[in-house]
Amino acid sequence: MKKLPVGISDFKRIIEEYYYYADKSLFIKDVIEIGSTTMLVPRPRRFGKTLSIMMLKYFFEKTDNDYSYLFKDLAIWKEEQKYRDMQGKYPVIFLTFKDVKSSNWERCYSHLKRLIANEYKRHDYLIKSELLKQQDKNIFEKVINLDAEQVDYESALLNLSKYLTEYHGKKVIVLIDEYDTPIQEGYLQDYYKQIVEFMKNMLGAVLKDNVFLEKAVLTGILRVAKESIFTGLNNFKVYSILKEKFSTYFGLTENEVFDIVKYYGIEHEMEEIKSWYNGYVFGSTVIYNPW
Protein backbone atom coordinates (compact mmCIF):
# COMPACT_ATOMS: atom_id res chain seq x y z
CA MET A 1 0.00 0.00 0.00
CA LYS A 2 1.24 3.46 -0.86
CA LYS A 3 1.65 5.89 2.00
CA LEU A 4 -0.38 9.10 2.18
CA PRO A 5 1.78 12.22 1.67
CA VAL A 6 0.34 14.27 4.51
CA GLY A 7 2.10 17.64 4.57
CA ILE A 8 4.68 16.63 1.94
CA SER A 9 5.04 19.01 -1.00
CA ASP A 10 8.30 17.70 -2.53
CA PHE A 11 7.26 16.06 -5.79
CA LYS A 12 10.49 14.05 -6.04
CA ARG A 13 10.08 12.61 -2.56
CA ILE A 14 6.46 11.62 -3.20
CA ILE A 15 7.39 9.68 -6.35
CA GLU A 16 10.61 8.14 -5.03
CA GLU A 17 9.27 7.08 -1.64
CA TYR A 18 6.11 5.48 -3.03
CA TYR A 19 3.54 7.89 -1.69
CA TYR A 20 0.06 8.04 -3.21
CA TYR A 21 -0.04 10.70 -5.93
CA ALA A 22 -3.12 11.91 -7.79
CA ASP A 23 -1.63 12.42 -11.25
CA LYS A 24 -1.65 16.14 -12.07
CA SER A 25 1.17 15.94 -14.62
CA LEU A 26 -0.95 17.16 -17.55
CA PHE A 27 -0.61 20.57 -15.91
CA ILE A 28 2.81 20.53 -17.58
CA LYS A 29 1.26 20.10 -21.02
CA ASP A 30 -1.20 22.94 -20.45
CA VAL A 31 1.58 25.28 -19.28
CA ILE A 32 3.52 24.48 -22.45
CA GLU A 33 0.58 24.87 -24.82
CA ILE A 34 -1.07 27.92 -23.32
CA GLY A 35 -0.55 31.19 -25.15
CA SER A 36 0.27 33.26 -22.08
CA THR A 37 3.92 33.74 -21.22
CA THR A 38 3.17 34.57 -17.57
CA MET A 39 0.49 32.76 -15.56
CA LEU A 40 -0.81 33.51 -12.09
CA VAL A 41 -2.76 30.65 -10.49
CA PRO A 42 -4.42 31.73 -7.21
CA ARG A 43 -5.78 28.86 -5.10
CA PRO A 44 -6.77 28.32 -1.44
CA ARG A 45 -4.23 27.13 1.10
CA ARG A 46 -3.34 23.45 1.18
CA PHE A 47 -4.57 22.74 -2.36
CA GLY A 48 -1.23 21.55 -3.76
CA LYS A 49 0.26 24.76 -5.16
CA THR A 50 3.80 24.06 -3.95
CA LEU A 51 3.63 20.44 -5.09
CA SER A 52 2.60 21.54 -8.59
CA ILE A 53 5.34 24.16 -8.81
CA MET A 54 7.91 21.59 -7.65
CA MET A 55 6.65 19.19 -10.34
CA LEU A 56 7.24 21.87 -12.98
CA LYS A 57 10.73 22.45 -11.63
CA TYR A 58 11.71 18.77 -11.82
CA PHE A 59 10.25 18.50 -15.29
CA PHE A 60 11.78 21.53 -16.95
CA GLU A 61 15.06 22.19 -15.16
CA LYS A 62 18.33 21.32 -16.84
CA THR A 63 20.59 19.76 -14.21
CA ASP A 64 23.41 17.23 -13.94
CA ASN A 65 20.80 14.71 -12.75
CA ASP A 66 18.30 13.00 -15.03
CA TYR A 67 14.86 13.32 -13.42
CA SER A 68 12.89 11.83 -16.31
CA TYR A 69 12.27 8.68 -14.24
CA LEU A 70 9.94 10.71 -11.99
CA PHE A 71 7.48 11.11 -14.86
CA LYS A 72 7.62 7.78 -16.69
CA ASP A 73 4.52 6.38 -14.98
CA LEU A 74 2.54 9.62 -15.28
CA ALA A 75 0.12 10.92 -17.90
CA ILE A 76 2.54 13.48 -19.35
CA TRP A 77 4.86 10.66 -20.48
CA LYS A 78 2.06 9.12 -22.52
CA GLU A 79 1.63 12.32 -24.52
CA GLU A 80 3.47 13.19 -27.74
CA GLN A 81 7.24 12.87 -27.93
CA LYS A 82 7.64 16.65 -28.13
CA TYR A 83 6.67 16.97 -24.45
CA ARG A 84 9.10 14.29 -23.32
CA ASP A 85 11.79 16.05 -25.31
CA MET A 86 11.30 19.18 -23.18
CA GLN A 87 12.09 17.40 -19.92
CA GLY A 88 15.32 18.66 -18.37
CA LYS A 89 16.06 21.17 -21.12
CA TYR A 90 15.55 24.63 -19.54
CA PRO A 91 17.32 26.80 -17.00
CA VAL A 92 14.91 27.44 -14.14
CA ILE A 93 14.62 30.24 -11.58
CA PHE A 94 12.67 29.00 -8.58
CA LEU A 95 11.61 30.97 -5.51
CA THR A 96 9.06 30.20 -2.82
CA PHE A 97 7.91 32.98 -0.52
CA LYS A 98 5.69 30.76 1.65
CA ASP A 99 7.85 31.24 4.74
CA VAL A 100 8.42 35.00 4.44
CA LYS A 101 6.40 36.01 7.48
CA SER A 102 8.20 38.81 9.30
CA SER A 103 7.14 41.29 11.96
CA ASN A 104 8.74 44.33 10.29
CA TRP A 105 10.16 45.46 6.96
CA GLU A 106 13.80 45.10 7.99
CA ARG A 107 13.37 41.42 8.85
CA CYS A 108 11.27 40.84 5.74
CA TYR A 109 13.87 42.48 3.48
CA SER A 110 16.61 40.40 5.09
CA HIS A 111 14.59 37.25 4.41
CA LEU A 112 14.01 38.25 0.77
CA LYS A 113 17.71 38.92 0.27
CA ARG A 114 18.57 35.46 1.58
CA LEU A 115 16.03 33.78 -0.70
CA ILE A 116 17.46 35.54 -3.74
CA ALA A 117 21.03 34.83 -2.60
CA ASN A 118 20.23 31.12 -2.24
CA GLU A 119 18.88 31.01 -5.80
CA TYR A 120 22.05 32.71 -7.02
CA LYS A 121 24.09 30.09 -5.13
CA ARG A 122 22.25 27.36 -7.03
CA HIS A 123 23.67 28.89 -10.20
CA ASP A 124 27.07 29.99 -8.90
CA TYR A 125 28.77 28.13 -11.78
CA LEU A 126 27.95 31.28 -13.76
CA ILE A 127 30.63 33.20 -11.86
CA LYS A 128 33.29 31.06 -13.54
CA SER A 129 31.81 31.64 -16.97
CA GLU A 130 33.55 33.93 -19.41
CA LEU A 131 30.13 35.19 -20.47
CA LEU A 132 29.89 37.37 -17.38
CA LYS A 133 31.79 40.61 -17.34
CA GLN A 134 33.77 41.41 -14.22
CA GLN A 135 31.21 44.01 -13.15
CA ASP A 136 28.45 41.39 -13.40
CA LYS A 137 30.53 38.93 -11.40
CA ASN A 138 31.07 41.54 -8.69
CA ILE A 139 27.31 42.16 -8.35
CA PHE A 140 26.66 38.40 -8.48
CA GLU A 141 29.00 37.87 -5.53
CA LYS A 142 27.54 40.83 -3.63
CA VAL A 143 24.04 39.36 -4.00
CA ILE A 144 25.27 36.03 -2.61
CA ASN A 145 27.13 37.76 0.23
CA LEU A 146 24.01 39.81 1.14
CA ASP A 147 25.75 43.16 0.72
CA ALA A 148 24.34 44.32 -2.64
CA GLU A 149 22.17 47.42 -2.96
CA GLN A 150 18.38 47.09 -2.83
CA VAL A 151 18.15 47.97 -6.51
CA ASP A 152 20.44 45.00 -7.24
CA TYR A 153 18.05 42.63 -5.46
CA GLU A 154 15.08 44.17 -7.26
CA SER A 155 16.77 43.48 -10.61
CA ALA A 156 18.38 40.20 -9.49
CA LEU A 157 15.90 37.85 -11.19
CA LEU A 158 16.04 39.79 -14.47
CA ASN A 159 19.84 39.70 -14.42
CA LEU A 160 19.89 36.01 -13.53
CA SER A 161 17.53 35.23 -16.41
CA LYS A 162 19.94 36.99 -18.78
CA TYR A 163 22.99 35.13 -17.45
CA LEU A 164 21.24 31.74 -17.60
CA THR A 165 19.91 32.29 -21.12
CA GLU A 166 23.33 33.29 -22.43
CA TYR A 167 25.02 30.36 -20.67
CA HIS A 168 22.57 27.60 -21.62
CA GLY A 169 21.35 28.96 -24.95
CA LYS A 170 17.74 28.54 -23.77
CA LYS A 171 15.31 31.05 -22.35
CA VAL A 172 14.47 30.59 -18.68
CA ILE A 173 11.38 29.30 -16.95
CA VAL A 174 10.53 31.29 -13.81
CA LEU A 175 8.58 29.55 -11.04
CA ILE A 176 7.41 31.58 -8.04
CA ASP A 177 5.42 29.97 -5.25
CA GLU A 178 3.20 31.90 -2.81
CA TYR A 179 4.23 35.28 -4.18
CA ASP A 180 1.64 37.06 -2.03
CA THR A 181 2.65 35.72 1.42
CA PRO A 182 5.07 38.59 2.21
CA ILE A 183 2.50 41.08 0.87
CA GLN A 184 -0.16 39.77 3.25
CA GLU A 185 2.30 39.96 6.14
CA GLY A 186 3.21 43.50 5.15
CA TYR A 187 -0.44 44.46 5.33
CA LEU A 188 -0.86 42.83 8.75
CA GLN A 189 2.42 44.16 10.19
CA ASP A 190 2.31 47.69 8.77
CA TYR A 191 5.02 47.60 6.10
CA TYR A 192 2.68 47.13 3.16
CA LYS A 193 4.03 50.05 1.12
CA GLN A 194 7.65 48.82 1.28
CA ILE A 195 6.89 45.21 0.36
CA VAL A 196 4.52 46.11 -2.49
CA GLU A 197 7.13 48.46 -3.96
CA PHE A 198 9.86 45.80 -3.72
CA MET A 199 7.73 43.01 -5.22
CA LYS A 200 6.44 45.28 -7.97
CA ASN A 201 9.98 46.26 -8.97
CA MET A 202 11.39 42.73 -8.74
CA LEU A 203 8.52 40.92 -10.49
CA GLY A 204 8.00 43.70 -13.01
CA ALA A 205 11.67 43.54 -14.01
CA VAL A 206 11.75 39.79 -14.67
CA LEU A 207 8.24 39.39 -16.10
CA LYS A 208 7.64 42.52 -18.21
CA ASP A 209 9.07 42.53 -21.75
CA ASN A 210 11.85 40.15 -20.69
CA VAL A 211 13.40 38.72 -23.86
CA PHE A 212 15.08 36.01 -21.78
CA LEU A 213 11.78 34.59 -20.45
CA GLU A 214 10.25 31.42 -21.88
CA LYS A 215 7.43 30.92 -19.34
CA ALA A 216 6.58 32.08 -15.84
CA VAL A 217 4.16 30.44 -13.43
CA LEU A 218 3.21 32.12 -10.16
CA THR A 219 0.99 30.77 -7.42
CA GLY A 220 -0.61 32.50 -4.46
CA ILE A 221 -3.73 32.76 -2.38
CA LEU A 222 -4.99 35.92 -4.02
CA ARG A 223 -4.31 38.45 -6.70
CA VAL A 224 -3.08 41.81 -5.45
CA ALA A 225 -4.72 43.95 -8.12
CA LYS A 226 -5.39 47.30 -6.46
CA GLU A 227 -1.72 48.17 -6.08
CA SER A 228 -1.04 47.22 -9.72
CA ILE A 229 1.93 44.93 -9.06
CA PHE A 230 1.36 43.40 -12.48
CA THR A 231 0.54 46.60 -14.34
CA GLY A 232 1.83 46.69 -17.89
CA LEU A 233 2.78 43.01 -18.09
CA ASN A 234 2.32 41.75 -21.62
CA ASN A 235 0.92 38.26 -22.13
CA PHE A 236 -0.06 37.97 -18.46
CA LYS A 237 -3.07 35.86 -17.50
CA VAL A 238 -4.77 35.14 -14.18
CA TYR A 239 -6.35 31.69 -13.90
CA SER A 240 -8.57 32.05 -10.85
CA ILE A 241 -10.95 29.43 -9.43
CA LEU A 242 -13.63 30.93 -11.68
CA LYS A 243 -11.74 29.87 -14.81
CA GLU A 244 -12.11 26.48 -16.48
CA LYS A 245 -8.41 26.31 -17.36
CA PHE A 246 -6.31 24.52 -14.72
CA SER A 247 -9.51 23.73 -12.78
CA THR A 248 -8.60 20.07 -12.20
CA TYR A 249 -4.96 20.52 -11.17
CA PHE A 250 -5.33 21.91 -7.64
CA GLY A 251 -7.32 20.03 -5.03
CA LEU A 252 -8.85 16.61 -5.74
CA THR A 253 -11.54 15.97 -8.31
CA GLU A 254 -14.44 13.70 -7.41
CA ASN A 255 -13.08 10.92 -9.64
CA GLU A 256 -9.70 11.19 -7.93
CA VAL A 257 -11.36 10.85 -4.53
CA PHE A 258 -13.28 7.78 -5.79
CA ASP A 259 -9.96 6.27 -6.94
CA ILE A 260 -8.36 6.95 -3.55
CA VAL A 261 -11.10 5.37 -1.45
CA LYS A 262 -11.21 2.38 -3.81
CA TYR A 263 -7.43 1.94 -3.58
CA TYR A 264 -7.55 1.93 0.23
CA GLY A 265 -10.70 -0.23 0.36
CA ILE A 266 -12.89 2.31 2.13
CA GLU A 267 -15.63 2.86 -0.46
CA HIS A 268 -18.17 2.69 2.38
CA GLU A 269 -16.74 5.98 3.73
CA MET A 270 -17.38 7.90 0.50
CA GLU A 271 -20.63 9.57 1.56
CA GLU A 272 -19.11 10.81 4.80
CA ILE A 273 -16.00 12.02 2.96
CA LYS A 274 -18.29 13.83 0.53
CA SER A 275 -20.19 15.53 3.34
CA TRP A 276 -16.98 16.73 4.99
CA TYR A 277 -14.70 17.73 2.12
CA ASN A 278 -16.84 18.43 -0.94
CA GLY A 279 -18.05 21.99 -1.50
CA TYR A 280 -15.72 23.65 -3.98
CA VAL A 281 -16.34 24.31 -7.66
CA PHE A 282 -13.37 25.49 -9.74
CA GLY A 283 -14.65 26.50 -13.16
CA SER A 284 -17.29 23.80 -13.55
CA THR A 285 -15.24 21.10 -11.77
CA VAL A 286 -16.30 19.75 -8.37
CA ILE A 287 -13.23 19.86 -6.11
CA TYR A 288 -12.53 18.28 -2.74
CA ASN A 289 -10.32 19.87 -0.11
CA PRO A 290 -7.20 17.61 -0.10
CA TRP A 291 -6.01 18.69 3.34
Confidence of residue 227 (pLDDT cuts 50, 70, 90): low
CA-closest candidate to residue 11, choices 168, 172, 175: 175
Q: Is the pLDDT of residue 24 over 60?
A: yes
Q: CATH second-level architecture of 11-248?
A: 3-Layer(aba) Sandwich (3.40)
Domain ranges of the chain: 11-248, 251-291
Tell me: the pLDDT tens digits for 210-223?
999 999 999 998 77
For residue range 258-271, what is the model confidence (pLDDT) as tens digits? Answer: 999 999 999 999 99
Q: pLDDT, tens digit, for every residue of 83-105?
A: 999 999 999 999 999 999 999 99
Please give the pLDDT value at position 225: 61
Q: What is the mean pLDDT of residues 162-187?
A: 96
The candidate with the shortest Cα–Cα distance to 150, out of 139, 165, 160, 137, is 139
Which residue type sits at 271? E
Residue 286 has pLDDT above 80, yes or no: yes
Distances (CA, A) of 36 to 33, 93, 161, 238, 239: 9, 18, 18, 10, 11
Could you give the percent of the chain with pLDDT greater than 90? Answer: 90
Q: Please say whether the dihedral angle defined by the alpha carbons of residues 6, 45, 201 and 99, taken in this order, is positive or negative.
A: negative
Reported as a pLDDT band with limits 50, 70 and 90, residue 291 is confident
Give me the chain's average pLDDT, please. 94
pLDDT of 228 over the 70 cut: no
> Which pLDDT value is given to residue 258?
96
Regarding predicted confidence, which is higher, 12 or 130? 12
